[in-house]
Chains A and B, each alone.
Chain A
Amino acid sequence: MSIDVSVDAARAAVPVSPGVRSGAVRSWGGAITVAMRTVLTLLGIAVAVQTFIVVEARPSDLITGIHGMADLVRRAVPPDFSKFPETIWPTIQTVDIALFGTLVGVILAVPLAVLAASNITPSRVAYYGARGIIGLARAVPDLVWALLFVTAVGLGPFPGGLALGVHSVGMLGRLFAETIEQMDMAPIHALELTGARRIQVFTHGIVPTILPTLLGISLYRLDENIRSSLVLGFVGAGGIGFQLLTAMNLFQYQEVSLLLIIIFVIVLAAERMSAALRERLA
């Protein structure tokens, strides 16, 4: 008598151990991962290639046009340091536009952030309202805000300050709200248990806890705003940017190079000061 047992029948008869089954699952999982990686790599290459097409990248144009740039640089050297006294006031304006914008941004962003932080917001309506304002302020670029304010209040540093202020509300509001949301709530609950009122819990519990982080973020924003205030001058919002635009339009390249040196010094100084202060706060 022969016993004919097919392989499939044997497989069906022998219970598959969990280890064997999980091994099969693992090999399938591995194949899927490899396929996913390949697809993602190809997708990444496709995205990179399409950017060259969309921006119409022509390296040959850059090579042939480099003579024009070299000519511009040649005409900008040496910088016209005799114009230095005339740059002092616009420089002060530029720094003050940034300071004003940051100050307005911080003052408006703090209450908005309190409303927009899901863990301490007094109501859902306030939460969505504050999130909406912050989102709008952030979504519109500061350059567009500057154009709008120039239309409203005319040329000069004031629209620049307002533009940076409003845009900073968006940027700071979001970061402040996230800082509040990520804070350890246990000390806050402990304070509530002592019978402290809402405002007292805020000033005695939340503020001391998040203040260093908020100051760090604000200093970083000031650093960013100084750079932005230079550009805002190009749309008539005063400061050294406006002077740079005027000098370029009048082909005063030696004055342009002086202004670029001043801009470089301001940006570097702001960056270093901001970094040093943030380090102290940490």
Chain B
Amino acid sequence: MLRVRSLSVRYPNGRLVLDGLNLQVEPGELVVVLGGNGSGKTTLLHSIARLLRPSAGEVWLGQTDLCKLDGEALRQARLELAMISQHPSLIRRSTVLTNVATGTLGRHHTWQTAFGGLPRHELDAAHDHLAQVGLVHLADQRAGTLSGGQKQRVAIARALAQRPRVLLADEPVASLDPEASEEIMRLLQNLARSAKLAVLCVLHQIELAYGYADRVVGIRGGRIEFDLPREQVSRDSVQRLYIREPAKDDAARDAARDASREAA
């Protein structure tokens, strides 16, 4: 389903953030990516979603290499790929149902959607997606009034409305309490199974990775350290991901400083 081949990303300041990554996520599979700060986890997701252009490599979504696409072709291909992030970015003043239904906009190029409307059948479908995340009772409530966990579930429902084949989750539980975090991870696991979604999830919570992942990928310094079923991942190998690499960290800090100077 999702295949990443020899993916490399080098920032304009010369820093190599991803170094020839290979990765595969199958339908129905929840793969968790672990790694320290600056290891390249988020850059990996952004490269897959083509929010940034990789320096080298391929990102295959089914039979399509996203790295070779641009413009309208890329937009069309992206419809099959949904993304949720640490901060569920909802339209605060719109209702929960409307927020979910906006996930379908990419499929509709009509006057109705151009002027702020949504097709009736998509609103009905949005109801079903809200039921999937257990929030159908909040359908008519404004998104801005929800709790953090509820917002994240609405973001997941919106991602489902997009009818994607791949779901990218960038630290989806980073700002949630442990209970809400468990709920979100359970939801992602269930969705992967029931909707046959390929879910690639970046996490910092090791226990959640052990609890819910089918496979765990460890990244350090832009390289994959291990890619194993969760039962085979040892605590030691995970611990090693978070050991500071002085030389690299200093280089990263220098690069960040150079970049900020350039920006200034």
Binding site for B on A (CB under 8 A): 184, 186-187, 189-191, 193-197, 199-200, 203-205, 207-209, 211-212
Contacts and interface: CB of A to CB of B under 8 A. Distances in A.
B75 A195 contact: yes
Interface stretch (B62-70, B111-119, B130-138): B111-119
B115 A203 contact: yes
Contacts of B123: none
B46 to A, nearest CB: 11
A190 B89 contact: yes
B167 to A, nearest CB: 12
A194 B78 CA distance: 8
Contacts of A193: 49, 51, 78, 82-83
A255 to B, nearest CB: 49
A197 to B, nearest CB: 7
> Interface extent on B, as a size class?
20 to 34
B79 interface: yes
24 contacts: A186-B89, A187-B91, A187-B92, A190-B89, A190-B90, A191-B102, A191-B105, A193-B49, A193-B78, A194-B103, A194-B104, A194-B162, A195-B76, A195-B78, A195-B105, A195-B106, A196-B105, A197-B106, A197-B109, A200-B114, A203-B116, A204-B98, A208-B91, A209-B91
Given A194-B105, A194-B106, A195-B76, A189 B93 contact: no
Q: Which of B90, B105, B116, B155 has the most CB of A within 10 A?
A: B105
Interface of B: 49, 51, 75-76, 78-79, 82-83, 85, 87, 89-94, 98, 102-107, 109, 113-116, 155, 158, 162
A212 B144 CA distance: 14
Main secondary structure of the interface of A (DSSP, over half): helix
Contacts of A208: 91, 93-94, 116
B1 to A, nearest CB: 18
B106 A196 contact: yes
B138 to A, nearest CB: 17
B52 to A, nearest CB: 13
B102 A194 contact: yes
Contacts of A184: 89
B79 A195 contact: yes
B158 A194 contact: yes
Contacts of A211: 93
A200 B92 CA distance: 17
Contacts of A195: 75-76, 78-79, 105-107, 162
Contacts of A199: 114
Contacts of A209: 91-93
